[in-house]
Amino acid sequence: MPERPIKVLLAKPGLDGHSRGIYVILDALRDAGMEVVFAGIRRRPDEIAAAAVEEDVDVVGLSCLSGAHIPLFPETAKLIREQMGDDVLLIGGGIIPDEDHEELTKAGFGIIYGPGTDTREIVEFIKNEVKS
């Protein structure tokens, strides 16, 4: 029996339209054999959480380059945690100042990626975290 592939939901909360980063991640995760659902850009936190529940994913990845990651990331995380518990791995990326990482970690994010990240690093991280 083949192992079920890791299932990931990607989305962009808020009004930010910068799609390059999340599309590159999407293609890279698919190339690495993961099942990736794209919930879209300009989604509300409740829409993203509902999609995560609906798709029953292992990982949710959020991207924001407009500076609205706070409050949007913690708000989305809270809704996901409430509905899916602590098992879902949350990752974030975008233009996110180092000073904000602590608040996002507290909100449940396993890691925050910035510009210039190698996609292989992201694949490794997800594989390690979801396995353990």
Partner 1 sequence: MTKKLDPKIAEAFKAWEDKILGAMIKRAESKGRKAETRESFATTSGIEPDRVALPDAGFDYVSKLGFPGTYPFTRGVQPTGYRGRFWTMRQYAGFGTAKDTNERYHALLNAGQTGLSVAFDLPTQQGYDSDDPISAGEVGKVGVSISSLADVEILFDGIELAKVSTSMTINATAAVLLAMYAALAKKQGADISKLAGTIQNDVLKEYVARHTDRFPLVPAMRLIRDTFEFCAKEMPKWNMISISGYHIREAGSTAAQEVAFTLANGIAYVQMAIDAGMDVDAFAGRLSFFFGAHNHLFEEAAKFRAARRLWARIMKERFNAKKPRSMMLRFHTQTAGCTLTAQQYNNNVVRVAMQALAAALGGTNSLHTNSRDEALALPTEQSVMIALRTQQLLAEENRVGDSIDPLGGSYYVEALTDEIEEKAEELISKIDDMGGAVEAVKSGWMEMEIRRSAFEYQRAIESSDITVIGVNKFTVDEDVRPDILRVDPAIQKSRTEELKKLKTERDNAAVEKALAEVKAAAEGTDNLMPPIIKAVEAYATIGEICSTLADIFGESRNGIA
Strand partners, 115: none
Q: Which stretch binds partner 1 (CB under 8 A): 50-58, 79-87, 91-99, 104-112?
A: 91-99
Instruction: Candidates 2, 87, 98, 131: give the one binding partner 1 (CB under 8 A).
Output: 98
Does the footprint of partner 1 cover residue 34 (CB under 8 A)? no
Instruction: Candidates 37, 53, 95, 130: give the one binding partner 1 (CB under 8 A).
Output: 95
* 49 half-sphere exposure, CB direction, 13 A CA radius: 17
**Taking a C-beta distance cutoff of 8 angstroms, is the pair 9, 60 a contact?**
yes
State the amino acid at position 100 in one-letter form. D
Q: Could you tell me the strand order of the sheet in which 109-113 lies?
A: 35-43, 7-13, 59-64, 89-94, 109-113
Does the footprint of partner 1 cover residue 92 (CB under 8 A)? no
Does the footprint of partner 1 cover residue 44 (CB under 8 A)? yes
Report strand pairing: 35-43 vs 59-64: unpaired
Q: Which stretch binds partner 1 (CB under 8 A): 48-56, 80-88, 90-98, 101-109?
A: 90-98
- ∠ CA 59-119-17, nearest 5°, is 70
State the amino acid at position 41 in one-letter form. I
Instruction: Candidates 54, 83, 97, 124: give the one binding partner 1 (CB under 8 A).
Output: 97
Does the footprint of partner 1 cover residue 32 (CB under 8 A)? no
The count of residues interacting with partner 1 (CB under 8 A) is: 33
Contacts with partner 1, residue ranges (CB under 8 A): 14-20, 23-24, 27-28, 40-44, 66-72, 95, 97-99, 114-116, 118-120
